[in-house]
A and B are shown apart, each in its own frame.
Chain A
Amino acid sequence: MGNKQTIFTDEQLDAYQVRHLQLHGRYHELAPHLVPMDYTKDPDCKLPLALIVNMPELKENPFRNRIVESFSEDGMGNLSFNEFVDMFSVLSEMAPRELKAIYAFKIYDFNVDNYLCKEDLEKTLNKLTKEELTPEEVELVCQKAIEEADLDGDNKLSFADFENMITRAPDFLR
């Protein structure tokens, strides 16, 4: 049904401060048989990656797998409801810039080593252009990107480099 009283307690709603019920509705419809309607007891259920990346908001996004993986605790992309809410709150337009920068860095870091190395950049580029560029062009672009943003000279981008570069970008917020 959807009666407020039976899904969350009032305190829980207050605590979340987001459009909680709608999100729960979305979460629920991804896997109706798995997701309980009653969250008052904080049940522990996770949805697999494959279900989440099929949501219309994420379906066309080239980085959908990485996005879901970076919000999941186990790193494999299985999201509990809390993590689900987390993901949408960061992606929303109310999220502050610094927060988005942090998560953006995590998303682009394919091998999860806390640095954006050349392979990470190459993967990002290929996902963005659907591999339309020739290898030489890919090489050139990654080289230039590292040249531009790398401030400590280690040929990869640490978080400070990334943040320094991204906060100056005019249209980062989307």
Chain B
Amino acid sequence: MEALKEQVEEKKKVIATLRNQPWRMKRRLVVLKEAQEFVERFEGALGKGRGRKLYAFKVMMAKKLIKFKRDFENFKTACIPWERKIKDVESHFGSSVASYFIFLRWMYGLNLVLFGLMFGLVMLPEILMGLPYGSIPRKTVPREEQPTAMDYSVLFEFGGYCKYSFLFYGYYDHERTIGLLQFRLPLSYLLVGVGIFGYSLMVVIRTMARNANEGGDGAEEGDFTFSWKMFTSWDYLIGNPETADNKYASITTSFKESIVDEQENQKDENIHLRRFLRVLANFMIISCLGGSGYLIYFVVKRSQEFAKSENANLSWFEKNEVEFVMSLLGLVCPPLFETIAELEDYHPRIALKWQLGRIFALFLGNLYTFLFALFDEVNAKLESEKSIKNSTEWIYNQYHANYSSFFNTTDVSIILYTVVEFVKLIVSDIQVTYLTILIGDFVRAVTVRFLNYCWCWDLEAGFPSYGEFDISGNVLGLIFNQGMIWMGAFYAPGLVGLNVLRLLTSMYYQCWAVMCCNVPHERVFKASRSNNFYMGLLLLVLFLSLLPVVYTIMTLSPSFDCGPFSGQEKMYDVVMETIEQDLPAFIGNIFTYATNPGLIMPAVLLMVLALYYLNALSKGYQQANLDLKRKMQMARDEEKNRRNNKDSTNQVMKDLEDLLPNKSLAPPPIEEDKSPKTKPGAARKGVNLQKDVSLAAPNPRAPVTRAPGPRRGPPGNARGPQPGPGRGRGRGGPPRQ
């Protein structure tokens, strides 16, 4: 009875694993029939019966589940915007160019959220529930400006109706509450302004943390890089010819990337020459940076002198000199840096990082020089405004403002002036970027293509040929643009909306430009798997753009008649007011306690200690990881050597072998059984029996190349005499053909 049961179980198992056997269909069917008959005949005897139907049902449910999961994944992937476009770019240009577009898409998402916040909580209430245009002075275009207020040129400079619209800070009323819902607009304005920074900070850090988990700096890990690429890169589900073409291109690119990595590893080095060249290159670049900073300072000072002179006589160039010079620097310096960097001869990925860092320093220096120069001016103005403020004539001027001088800002807040300048800078930056792409890439490509027919040398192969996509320039442009938006968002709520539009058009425009006018880099290299480098830069820029805004919130007192905080001593007084008047008393008490320095100092100290502890912990984990990796590598090497029947390359093992007594008494190798797995050659060589004492566990899948016979282990080895050829039984069975 028992034996019968066992047999039935065995047959059932055979049926269940029948799919896994690589047999011909006929053979499978035969075996299946036999097994099923057997089971049927005897199962009835044993009293069970419904197994088969249940099994079929289970299989069907499993299949349905898998299909559903697949469909859902497909749907989720289809929802991601522009995924197809980016994959196209990736397959032709490599992962590093595609990483720029992925970054762009991420930025777009971030800006969309910021815009939603700003629009919903600040702009919409003011438009819907606030006083309409023209009702109060700050919302009206002054009489002198009215004739020109709708002119395109004035609008273009963000003067005229633009300046007095909801796009700018000055429009917002300082009433504590507005409309039916008693919406506290000034409070909301301040909180949204701060909230924008808070949200951006949170998102950037969260993305960095997520990327850090995926690890890797772009360098190839894993031991079977090329093999895996060769055997697993084709996607067997592709049925569309165009997709197939893309897949071929991407596989080729992926191979090229790995080849570049491999070649870098095999390069020879002449250390001293390299070091000297690198120092020289860095020196040249630093002097460039210094020169550009000085140039900007000089130009800003000059523009202020221009402004002090007659307004009408300034040419366009002189009026916009500052923006022009900054854009020019931004255009000329990066290629210059790249040319100098060729002296350094780094791996392309590392060279890209250096390039990014340098351009970053350039833009940062330029921006801060610009701001300092402007602030100088603002401070000078503040002095003069304070003296006028107390006179009654100032009130008179509010209605009969004379614009005799470009800098008569008595009825326009100074902050507004700075902001307008800023916005102009951003817009001109956008324009320059688009123009550069148009001229630098498109016109160049068209010229090369068509002039080639009638030119003496081959334009496509030699100079100027087609352009390569400039990753570093574009990424940094994007990051700095975002930094400027952050800086300006508090004072110009419309700026975030402008940025959303800009990113949207950028995406389409640049995708088109890259596919149409650029060629892939000569040395295609793999991007870092994480975008953490870009994120780090973005974080830095976020902090740097936070500083001016926080400074102005905390120290400058708002102008008398402009913006939602007018009338307060300091802007954050709005919050204090709200706490006092609107919230119950005990909350006010809580806040008073919480802002006590005696509480804040220990809290800060605690956070610093927690940081230190977590840092030490993570270092410990990294070390443990490295140790494990090293162990695995050693195990694999030992295995390899054992199979190759060579001496262990591990020096420690060699020494250990030398120490063993009576080494010469090792039995001569006996011929092993021929197993279909081994090649004829290997069977002849003697096996170094000492190998079995290696630090790694023996591999159960090793082919049978071991000589039988008694073995002496080193003292302390618990392993007994080597078992005979029977050990090979379970391993490497007959090839399944």
A interface residues, Cβ below 8 angstroms from B:
14-15, 17, 56-57, 59-63, 73, 82-83, 85-86, 89, 91, 93-96, 98-99, 102-104, 108, 114, 121, 124-125, 128-130, 132-133, 137, 140-141, 144-145, 148-149, 151-154, 158-160, 162, 164-166, 168-172, 174
Contact = CB atoms under 8 A, between A and B. Distances in A.
A145 B226 contact: yes
Given A17-B56, A98-B20, A160-B703, A152 B682 contact: yes
A170 B735 CA distance: 25
Contacts of A98: 20
Contacts of B219: none
A159 B735 contact: yes
Given A82-B25, A148-B223, A171-B232, A93 B66 contact: yes
A152 B644 contact: yes
Nearest to A19: B63
A121 B229 CA distance: 12
B39 to A, nearest CB: 13
B228 interface: yes
Contact of B32 (A15, A96, A144, A172): A15
Contacts of A160: 677, 701, 703, 732
Interface residues of B, number: 60
Contacts, number: 139
A168 to B, nearest CB: 7
Of A14, A17, A98, A114, most buried by chain B (CB within 10 Å of CB) is: A17
Contacts of B241: 60
Given A60-B244, A137-B255, A141-B259, A91 B227 contact: no
Given A82-B26, A96-B19, A152-B643, A133 B255 contact: yes
Contacts of B643: 151-153
Contact of A151 (B19, B239, B640, B679): B640
Given A82-B26, A95-B19, A102-B736, A137 B230 contact: no
Interface string B700-737: 01010000000000000000000000000000100111
A140 to B, nearest CB: 6
Interface string B243-266: 110001001100110110010000
Nearest to A82: B25
Contact of B227 (A15, A145, A174): A145
Given A128-B248, A144-B262, A165 B227 contact: yes
B283 interface: no
Of B20, B236, B239, B735, most buried by chain A (CB within 10 Å of CB) is: B236
A94 B677 contact: no
Contacts of B24: 73, 82-83, 86
B255 A129 contact: yes
B239 A60 contact: yes
B336 interface: no
A154 B29 contact: no
Given A133-B256, A145-B226, A56 B66 contact: no
Of A63, A121, A141, most buried by chain B (CB within 10 Å of CB) is: A141
A137 to B, nearest CB: 6
Interface of A is mostly: helix
Interface string B627-651: 0000000000001100110000000
A57 B258 CA distance: 30
Contact of B22 (A91, A99, A144, A171): A99
A130 B262 contact: no
B450 interface: no
Contact of B252 (A91, A133, A151, A162): A133
B231 interface: yes
Contacts of B230: 121, 124-125, 128, 141, 145
A130 B253 CA distance: 12
Contacts of A133: 252, 255-256
B248 A130 contact: yes
B236 A174 contact: yes
A165 B225 CA distance: 10
A148 B224 contact: yes
Contacts of B229: 141
A63 B732 contact: no
A108 B231 contact: yes
Given A149-B224, A162-B231, 15 more contacts: A14-B52, A60-B244, A82-B26, A82-B29, A83-B24, A102-B22, A114-B737, A124-B230, A125-B230, A149-B227, A154-B679, A154-B681, A165-B227, A174-B235, A174-B237
A154 B736 CA distance: 21
B700 to A, nearest CB: 12
A99 to B, nearest CB: 6
Of A103, A124, A151, most buried by chain B (CB within 10 Å of CB) is: A151
Nearest to A61: B236
B368 to A, nearest CB: 46
A76 B149 CA distance: 83
A62 B234 contact: yes
Contacts of B235: 174
A62 B248 CA distance: 9
